[in-house]
Amino acid sequence: MSIKLVAIDIDGTLVNNNREITPEVFEAIQKAKAAGVKIVIATGRPLLGVKNILESLNLLDAGDYVITYNGALVQATATGEAFIDEPLTYDDYLDIEMESRRLKTPLHSITMSTIYTHNRNISKYSINEAYITGLPLKYRTAEEMAKHEIIKMMYIDEPEKLDETITKLPQRFKERYTIVKSTPFYLEILNKNASKGLAVQHLAEKLGISHEETMAIGDEENDRSMLEAVGNPVVMANGNPELKKIAKYITKSNEASGVAHAINEWVL
> Catalytic positions, please?
9
- Contact yes or no for 217/8 (Cβ under 8 A): yes
- DSSP H or E stretch at residue 47: helix 47-56
**Measured between alpha carbons, how far is 200 from 227 in angstroms, rounded to an integer?**
10
**Measured between alpha carbons, how far is 215 from 32 in angstroms, rounded to an integer?**
13
**3-class secondary structure, 67:** strand
**Measured between alpha carbons, how far is 68 from 82 in angstroms, rounded to an integer?**
10
Please state, as a whole number, how many other Cβ atoms lie within 10 Å of the Cβ of residue 148.
18
- Contact yes or no for 46/69 (Cβ under 8 A): yes
- DSSP H or E stretch at residue 75: strand 73-76
Could you write out the DSSP letters of every residue in 82-139? EEEE-PBPHHHHHHHHHHHHHHT--EEEE-SS-EEE--SS--HHHHHHHHHH---EEE
Query: Inter-axis angle of helices 258-266 and 23-34, to 10 degrees?
Result: 30
